[in-house]
Amino acid sequence: MNMLDVKKERLPSFLRAIEKIQASYHNIVPKRNTIKDLRINFERLVASSNSVFVIGHNGADLDSIGSACAFAYLADKEKEQNRRFAKLPRRGTITPGGVYVVVDDQPSKLDVSVRTIMKDKCSNFRFINKEKCLSLLSGNDLLIITDVNQSHRIALNDHIHEFGNVIVVDHHDTNFRTIDVDKLFIDSKQSSASEMAYRLMKSMGIKCPQDLATLLLAGINQDTNNYTQKRNINIWALINSLVHDGADQDYIANLIAEDFFENMELNYEIIKNLLKGEPVLFKFKIQDQIGEDEEAETISTRNTMAIVVKPELSTKIELSKIANKLRDSVSLSIVIGVIEDEDKKLISIHTRSNGRISAAELMDYFGGGGNPNMASAQIPYIEDIQSVRDEVLESPLLKEKVKRIERRFKI
C-alpha cells in the first residue's frame, strides 16, 4: 500500500470536523462533575450487574493495569457491601458473577515493568483473556473500559454491544472515534486513569490497600513522566495520600531502573542516533538566527522539534520510550516506527509535547488521539516509512505552527 492509498482511507478534513462537532454534543460529561457522576453510576451499575469486567487498552501499561485493578477492587467491595451475591469465589476460581480484569496481550509482548508489577502486586486480582471473558457473559454484565476511549484499541472491540452496560473512564481527549456510550466519563485535566480511579475510591470512602496504592502511584508516575508532565493543581496532595496509604516509592524507583536496564540497548540506540544526527530532524531551531542571549536560548528550547524514524520492527512501548526520552530535550518529539498487531504490520506514530503544539490534535489528523502532552496513532503499513515522516511535517497543524514561529522571529 502506498501513501496515496493511505490518504484515501482517511476522511476528508471537513467530514472529520463535522463528526468531531457531533461527538462533542454527547461524549463529554462536565469535568467538574466527572467523579461525582462516575460514583453514582458506578455504584448503581455494579450492584445491578451479574459479572463485572474491567479492560484497558491493548499493549497494557502501568496506568492501564493500575486503574483496571483499582476499578476491579472497587467493584468487588461494592458487590460485598450490597450483599447481592455471596462472597466472591476464591482466587483462581473463574465463575459468572465475579469481578475480572481482562488482559489479552501475550506476556512476552508486555513491557518488563508491567510484567514485574503484575507478578508482585496483582496476586489478589483475577486476570482473564478475551476468550474466557466472552464465555462468562450472561447478558446482564458490566464492562468498564479504562485509560482509553476508542474501541479499536481494546481487545473486546467487536463485542462491546454484548454487555448489558458499559462505562468508559479516561483522561485522554475525545474525538469522533470515541466509543458512543451514555456512561462516558472523560477528564483530560487528570494526569492519568489511575488518578481518576483513586479519586473515585476516596469519594466512595474506601481505604486503598498497600499493593494497590503502589500500582496506582506507578501508573501516575508513568503517565506524568516521573511527575514532570500533565500535573494538575492537586497532584502532589494525591501523591502524598497514596504514600500515606502505603505506596512503595522505592519499589517504583527500582521498577523504573529495572525497566531502563532491560531496555539499555534501546536507550543506547537513541543516544547513538541523536549524536549521529541522521534519523533526527530538527525544525525551526532558531537559536543561531537570533543570537546567543538568554532570551534567545529560552525561545529556541521551546521551539525545537525532533522526529525519529525507526524502520526496524518495534513495540508501542519502545516507541513511547523514545518519544519520552526525546521530550526531555525538545518541546515536541515525534517517533515513527513499525509494530505488529495480531500478526499484521502497522505504522505507529507517538508524539510528546510541552503543550504549545497539541499532540492530540496532531495525531487526530492521522486517526489517533490522546491529550495535549502525549498522543499516538496507528496507520496502515507502507514500505516507504520515510514518506510518513514527510506527511507528518506537511500536516496542517504543524505547518501552520512552523509558519507562525518563522513569521514571529523572521527566520
What are the pLDDT digits (tens) for 79-91? Answer: 887 754 445 555 5
CB atoms closer than 10 angstroms to residue 278: 10
Work out whether strand 374-380 and strand 52-55 pair parallel, antiparallel, or are unpaired: unpaired
pLDDT averaged over every residue in the chain: 77
Domain limits of the chain? 24-261, 265-409
Question: Which amino acid would we find at residue 263?
Answer: N
User: What span, in angstroms and rounded, lies between the C-alpha atoms of 206 and 114?
Assistant: 25
Q: Please answer whether residues 308 and 279 qualify as being in contact, where contact means their C-beta atoms are separated by less than 8 angstroms.
A: yes
Question: Residues 377-409, buried b or exposed e (16+ Cβ, 10 A)?
Answer: bbbebbeeeeebbebbeebeebeebbeebeeee
pLDDT in tens, 244-295: 999 999 999 888 766 555 554 444 454 444 444 443 433 333 233 323 333 3
Residue 371 has pLDDT above 70, yes or no: yes
Interacting residues of 294 by C-beta distance below 8 A, sequence separation 6+? none
Higher pLDDT, 27 or 173: 173
Higher pLDDT, 59 or 8: 59
Q: Please answer whether residues 3 and 391 qualify as being in contact, where contact means their C-beta atoms are separated by less than 8 angstroms.
A: yes
pLDDT in tens, 293-341: 333 333 334 456 778 888 888 888 778 877 877 776 677 888 888 888 7
Beta bridge partners of 169: 146, 185
Phi first, then psi: what are they for 340, rounded to 5°? -115, 135
pLDDT in tens, 348-364: 999 988 777 788 888 88
The architecture (CATH level 2) of 24-261 comes to Alpha-Beta Complex (3.90)
Segment holding 337, helix H or strand E: strand 332-341
128 SS3 class:
strand
Report the pLDDT value the prediction gives residue 275, as an integer from 0 to 100.
43
Beta bridge partners of 186: 170
Residue 223 has pLDDT above 70, yes or no: yes
* Of 368, 15, 360, 48, residue with least CA distance to 183: 48
Interacting residues of 339 by C-beta distance below 8 A, sequence separation 6+? 313, 314, 315, 316, 319, 345, 346, 347, 348, 378
Work out whether strand 374-380 and strand 344-353 pair parallel, antiparallel, or are unpaired: antiparallel
Q: Please answer whether residues 172 and 188 qualify as being in contact, where contact means their C-beta atoms are separated by less than 8 angstroms.
A: yes
Q: Please answer whether residues 34 and 201 qualify as being in contact, where contact means their C-beta atoms are separated by less than 8 angstroms.
A: no
CB atoms closer than 10 angstroms to residue 37: 14
Beta bridge partners of 351: 334, 375
Which of 3-7, 83-87, 138-142, 308-312 is least confident?
Answer: 3-7
pLDDT band at 151 (very low <50, low <70, confident <90, very high): confident
Residue 376 has pLDDT above 80, yes or no: yes
The architecture (CATH level 2) of 265-409 comes to Roll (3.10)
> CA-based diameter of the chain, in Å?
73
Segment holding 143, helix H or strand E: strand 142-146
User: What span, in angstroms and rounded, lies between the C-alpha atoms of 311 and 101?
Assistant: 34
